[in-house]
Structure 1
Amino acid sequence: MSRAPDDAAGRARRPGGGLVLPAVAALAAFLILIGLGTWQLERLSWKDMLLARVEARVHAAPVPVPPPALWPQLTREADEYRRVGVRGTFDHGRETLVYSVRGDDATGPVKGQGYLVVTPLLRTDGPPILINRGFVPSDRRDPATRAVGQVAGEVEVVGLLRLPEEASWFVPANDPAHGGFFRMDPAGIAAARGLSGAAPFIIDEGANAVPGGLPLAGGTRLAFPNRHLEYALTWYGLAAALVGVAAAFLWTRRRGGGPG
């Protein structure tokens, strides 16, 4: 009579029996957790460099806007948030309203839902540039309610150079045909307003004394979430916990105290 089944059962009950698969699974999970923690540390280094770069740029003396010949070479790493200055005349008749929400963390009394007023700046020495003049609440979206802020004549604008806002699952797509704009897309806004050759970037105007107080300029968001160290420690902590659980499991099995 064959004893093969009994022998197989005996091997499974021996100390250390059936440990290969749990050990492999634990090792794979450990490596994944360590990889995630290391990735978060890399993200932390990148975020620290970003914050330092932005901090230096927003407080630097303004420089002239890049000439059209350099526009194809603009990058986020080299040019985003660069403080620039430019002169021209606002074309208020072709302003665009981009939906926005001014949160409770914003400075000043104006908060809640509203719009960013994006107005073409017409220049005598170059193509037009779109200027984000700042925020207006929903009940002041009509330019007639803030006519005093529609400054005339040549002005000097100093602000931060911003490249097109990246698409996001959380932000609806722009709908120029129905006047719905939800993200900063200079090419799309320029096309909707018939601006030929406009710059491929927008300038966020710095805080200034606009007649009547609106639009409220100088609201560029410069606070970036930076919780990568916290996330890294979480992943490394889970990896350490996994090691402890796996060690206890293997010790119990090797002593023969686990399930048969």
Structure 2
Amino acid sequence: MTGGRRSALRDLLAPGLASLVCLAILIGLGTWQLERKAWKEALIDRIVARSRIEPPAPLPAFDAFDPAKDEFERVRATGRLLHDKETLVHGLAPGDMPGRALQGYYVVTPLRLDDGRTVLVNRGFVPTELKDPGRRAAGQVEGETTVTGMLRQSEARAMFVPAPNPATGEWFNRDVPGIAAAKGLGPVAPYLIEADATPIPGGWPKGGQLRVDLPNNHLQYAFTWFGLAVCLVGVFAAFALRRLRGDAVDGTRAAAGAPPPRP
């Protein structure tokens, strides 16, 4: 091996190690996206299967709720809706046209069960212009009623979601303990019911907002990361070959006594 070749290999050591680190990261991200894809498909299958359970199951015991086992189960509950203690949570819902969303609120109403316990019910969506309960009085179901829907655990507040302001009634996530404390409900179920799309007088709120069409773009993301890994290999290979060939040419010129090429 000539001195020029050895020098070129030494010069490639640092960028080669850096490229290997980046390559490992890109492959790891691609593999992680494939794992997320499998997890998302299993979740969708689970939601679909549980959403078709007939008849709906009774509510699980408040102190025995296990989100990993019980979430998305279809249940029924009978009691009285406490409309005077409803909470509006900011949200979006699909509009009349594809790709268009309506801005408004989810109506979370306590349901006082026959045995005196309370569970929160997300009755559905109302547009911003129907924020005032007086404008949708027809939808205030009175007396004993039976609610069917899917169990959901309390919704954690994401990093970029604003904090709630109970004093002004501004809520941005369906925080079961927080809403219960703000409304003075006392002990409530550690979950809420996402109500089915059942007919309601006046048409609002519209239930059935829990949709199974969860975004599943993980395969595209995996291809992106793997594609970047392939590009990295190609770029480094081209760089290394050019460097090795350049040093080989310089070594040949030096052996022949020829002057180096002008820059």
> TM-score surpassing 0.5?
yes
Distance 1:258 1:127 in 2: 83
What's 1:87 paired with? 78
Residues 259 and 228 of structure 1, relative CA distance in 2, 3 Å threshold: farther
Secondary structure of residue in 1 paired with 2:146: strand
Q: State the superposition RMSD in angstroms.
A: 2.3
Among 55, 65, 70, the alignment partner of 2:64 is 70
**Match runs of 1:72-221 below 5 Å:** 74-75=66-67, 77-104=68-95, 112-221=102-211
Gap runs ≥5 in structure 2: 251-263
Quote the sequence identity (%): 47
Give yes or no for contact 2:91–2:104 (8 Å, CA) kept in 1: yes
Give yes or no for contact 1:165–1:183 (8 Å, CA) kept in 2: yes
What's 1:225 paired with? 215
Residues 258 and 205 of structure 1, relative CA distance in 2, 3 Å threshold: farther
Distance 1:193 1:259 in 2: 81
Using structure 2 for the length normalisation, give the TM-score.
Answer: 0.86
Gap runs ≥5 in structure 1: 1-9
Give yes or no for contact 2:5–2:244 (8 Å, CA) kept in 1: no
Q: Please state how far the C-alpha of 1:126 moved relative to its aligned partner.
A: 4.8
What's 1:19 paired with? 12
Q: Please state how far the C-alpha of 1:64 moved relative to its aligned partner.
A: 0.4
Residues 124 and 242 of structure 1, relative CA distance in 2, 3 Å threshold: same
Q: Please state how far the C-alpha of 1:259 moved relative to its aligned partner.
A: 10
Secondary structure of residue in 2 paired with 1:16: helix
Give yes or no for contact 1:15–1:255 (8 Å, CA) kept in 2: no
Q: Please state how far the C-alpha of 1:39 moved relative to its aligned partner.
A: 1.1
